[in-house]
Amino acid sequence: MNIGQKSTGAIRTLLRRPIPSSRLPPLLSRPMSATSDIKILRTVAEVRQWRRDLLVKNESVGFVPTMGALHAGHLALVNHSKKENDHTIVSIFVNPAQFAPHEDLDQYPRTFDSDKAKLDELGGVSAIFLPTVKEMYPNGIKLDRSKQVGAFVEVQGLSHQLEGSVRPHFFRGVATVVTKLLNIVQPERLYLGQKDVQQTVVVRRMVTDLHIPTDVRVCPTVRESDGLAMSSRNAYLNEEQWERANILIQALKAGEEAYLAGARSQKDIVGAAVAVIGDLMLKSENGVTLEYMSLADPETLQEIDEIPEGGKAIMSGAVRIGNAAKGERVTRIIDNQFLPRDA
């Protein structure tokens, strides 16, 4: 891609850029009221009591774990849960165990009031679980993995490639907190987003291997109108960076187009995707770095050389947006695409 040619198009696109959902005012579809039907549960004991009462009444529970800064992607999971369960509980917990010491734990957006307002407006949510770190990790939690003591859950073979290759601590933190949350909430169904595809594979495997009696449901990725996958971290992007972040979805589209044109090898499909990002990356002032672009088996997450006849693959990638040398914040953007799309 020629950056010079792109600049006028880029300006036009900037003018058309959607306002991130996190910055939109609350929807006015439901009257705002001072009171709310949603119970705020802060302790494990409170959730257990709430759950016990529903169990006695034979009412089902769907669970949507989140780190807050809710957007339409989270709300879509809630809507799926509402359709399939008598009650929906959303957890909001920024889990320290999935952040490395150098990552953005302290800066991660914490927006409880607007999160709750969004859930109030949506309606149909029975409870929010809003624990403290002390409640979830009663014996404390150190970010430095070599200093951690206690029980952790690790899903071997699925946690150290792709996202795990860049964030080696991440899936151990996710698997540990999701196990804790499932033990506490004991939901019939758990709702996860396709956007974090490796997380869905890791959690599914964990639930099966540990005999956790919860059905895992995976819901499609919700996107901004320009295609960027919604993410709480999109709020970190300024307008120019947002424009550059769209390179990832353009790359995945190029990979898919190669597939639709008959390509089946990793070389051709990933090659087509990487070519889209290549020119932008060459100029360091653009602040775009490709971390990985992968074509993997959707169950084992092992890289595949060739998609077999009638087979499926997951193409996924991560880019870092932001020029640290210019003092800009660097934001990771991830996305993925099944091949074929309806797999």
Asked if 192 interacts with ligand AMP (CB under 6 A), we say: yes
Tokens of 144: 């430095």
Site for ligand AMP in 258-317 (CB under 6 A): none
Residue 256 interacts with ligand AMP (CB under 6 A)?
no
Segment contacting ligand AMP by CB under 6 A, of 155-163, 189-197, 292-300, 319-327: 189-197
Q: Work out whether 21 is an interface residue with ligand AMP (CB under 6 A).
A: no
CA distance 91 to 187: 12
- Is there binding between residue 237 and ligand AMP (CB under 6 A)? no
Q: DSSP of 25-42, one letter per residue? A: PPP-SS---SS-S-EEE-
Core vs surface per residue 24-63: b (16+ CB within 10 A) or e: eeeeeeeeeeeeeebeebeebebbeebbeebeeeeeebbb
Q: How far is the CB of 327 from ligand AMP (least distance, A)?
A: 26
Q: How far is the CB of 38 from ligand AMP (least distance, A)?
A: 18
Closest to ligand AMP by CB, 218 vs 288, is: 218
Q: Does residue number 229 form part of the binding site for ligand AMP (CB under 6 A)?
A: yes
What is the closest distance, in whole angstroms, from the C-beta atom of residue 193 to ligand AMP in the complex?
Answer: 2
Q: How many angstroms separate the CA atoms of 147 and 305, rounded? A: 39
Q: Does 222 bind ligand AMP (CB under 6 A)?
A: yes
Encode burial over 286-322: b for 16+ CB neighbours within 10 A, e otherwise.
bbbbbbbbbbbbbeebeebeebeeeeebbbbbbbbbb
In the complex with ligand AMP, the residue whose CB is nearer, 76 or 127, is 76
Q: Which of 167, 189, 195, 244 binds ligand AMP (CB under 6 A)?
A: 195
Length of the chain measured in residues = 343
Q: Which range, of 42-50, 66-74, 165-173, 281-289, touches ligand AMP by CB under 6 A?
A: 66-74
Task: Please tell me whether residue 66 binds ligand AMP under the rule CB under 6 A.
Answer: yes
Which of these ranges, 12-20, 69-77, 205-213, 247-255, lies near ligand AMP under the rule CB under 6 A? 69-77
By the 8 A CB rule, do 217 and 190 touch?
Answer: yes
* 160 belongs to the catalytic site: no
Does position 73 interact with ligand AMP (CB under 6 A)? The reply is yes
Of the pair 77, 130, the CB lying nearest ligand AMP is at: 77
Closest contact distance (angstroms) between CB of 98 and ligand AMP is: 9
Q: Specify burial of residue 19 (Cβ count, 10 A radius: 0-12, 13-18, 19+).
A: exposed
Pick the stretch among 139-147, 227-235, 239-247, 271-279 that binds ligand AMP (CB under 6 A). 227-235
Q: Which of 71, 74, 80, 87 is catalytic?
A: 74
What is residue 328's three-state secondary structure?
coil
Given 62, 131, 187, 193, the residue binding ligand AMP (CB under 6 A): 193
- Per the rule left: phi > 0, alpha: psi between -120 and 50, beta: everything else, 230 is beta
Give all strands of the β-sheet with 313-321 in edge-to-edge order. Answer: 288-296, 313-321, 331-339
User: In the bound complex, what is the minimum distance in angstroms from residue 197's beta carbon to ligand AMP?
Assistant: 8
By CB atoms closer than 10 A (0-12, 13-18, 19+), residue 74 is buried
Q: Would you count residue 81 as binding ligand AMP (CB under 6 A)?
A: no
Query: Tokens 């169990």 map to which residue?
Result: 55
Query: Binding to ligand AMP by residue 232, rule CB under 6 A?
Result: yes
Kindly give, in sequence order, each residue whose CB lies less than 8 Å from that of residue 181, ignoring residues fewer than 6 positions away. Answer: 63, 65, 91, 93, 129
Report, in angstroms and rounded to the nearest whole number, the Rg of the chain calculated over CA atoms. 21
Q: Which residues are catalytic?
A: 74
Q: Which residues bind ligand AMP (CB under 6 A)?
A: 66-67, 73-74, 76-77, 192-193, 195-196, 219, 221-222, 229-232
